[in-house]
Chains A and B, each alone.
Chain A
């Protein structure tokens, strides 16, 4: 059912991206590059280091690429998921994963929220300070990969 007359309707992630591209706030080429990456590599799921699959819909992609550090390099979505080193229990059946990888001399950290069923809810690049703030919230660790593995 659609919205009642006069009632607000939530803009979908796809509609928002289309609006931003039309308004010149995001480059069309960057969105098309991310869509190609999704078609070729993301839509069938990305494997976590523990063997679980993370599922990413096209709307999930549109939600994640709004950060310029991701729309400029959408392959970071795959890298972040593939380099998860810790998973914590969160509320409502969600889980929070932390990821760490390097690009040249640059070390990157990401926080990933997974819905029950492993659908991607969010993926953010973070810094060490934010990671400490998240971990202080104390979600139970349900998987941690050792530094050497």
Chain B
């Protein structure tokens, strides 16, 4: 999950873009109408490979202590990191 902390705790609805596990999370107002803002992105990151399905957004995303990046670059970098972590954990098991 990748969250937009400015909108943390708000209501949202998933908008699927890849497999059923891959969703943009779109903010809802108190009348459950979409506001056009994005609460987060949910995807099965270790196995995700449908990069062409990822919507192109005008927003940059930033993890704490890191530089802002387009969503696909940030997710690819996180995927590499998490896969390396998983490999390390598997090699120690």
Which residues of A are interface residues toward B (Cβ below 8 A)? 1, 7-8, 10, 16, 20, 23, 25-26, 63, 66-69, 71, 88, 90-92, 94, 96, 111, 113, 121-122, 124-127, 130, 133-134, 137, 139
Least distance between B57 CB and chain A CB atoms (Å):
18
Complex contact A130–B13 (CB within 8 A): yes
Q: How many A-B residue pairs have CB under 8 A?
A: 76
With beta carbons under 8 angstroms apart, the residue of A66, A90, A94, A133 that contacts B9 is A66
Q: Given A90-B21, A111-B20, A137-B19, decide whether A124 and B14 contact each other with a Cβ distance below 8 A.
A: yes
Complex contact B11–A113 (CB within 8 A): no
Enumerate 20 A-B pairs (CB-CB under 8 Å) in ascending A order: A1-B88, A8-B64, A8-B81, A10-B82, A20-B9, A26-B8, A69-B28, A90-B21, A91-B21, A91-B44, A92-B47, A122-B42, A124-B12, A124-B23, A130-B13, A130-B14, A130-B16, A133-B15, A134-B16, A139-B20
Task: Name the prevailing secondary structure of the A interface residues.
Answer: mixed
Q: Which residue in chain B gives the minimum CB-CB distance to A121?
A: B21
A94 to B11, CA, bound (A): 25
Q: Known pairs A90-B20, A96-B20. 6 more at Cβ < 8 A?
A: A68-B9, A69-B28, A111-B20, A126-B13, A127-B13, A130-B14
Least distance between A71 CB and chain B CB atoms (Å):
7
Least distance between B69 CB and chain A CB atoms (Å):
13
A1 to B28, CA, bound (A): 39
Contacts of A124 in B (CB 8 A): 12-14, 23
Task: Name the prevailing secondary structure of the B interface residues.
Answer: mixed
Complex contact A92–B44 (CB within 8 A): yes
Interface assignment of B1: CB less than 8 Å from any CB of chain A: yes
Interface residues of B in 58-93 (CB under 8 A from A): 63-66, 78, 81-82, 88-89, 92
Contacts of B11 in A (CB 8 A): 67-69
Contacts of A10 in B (CB 8 A): 82
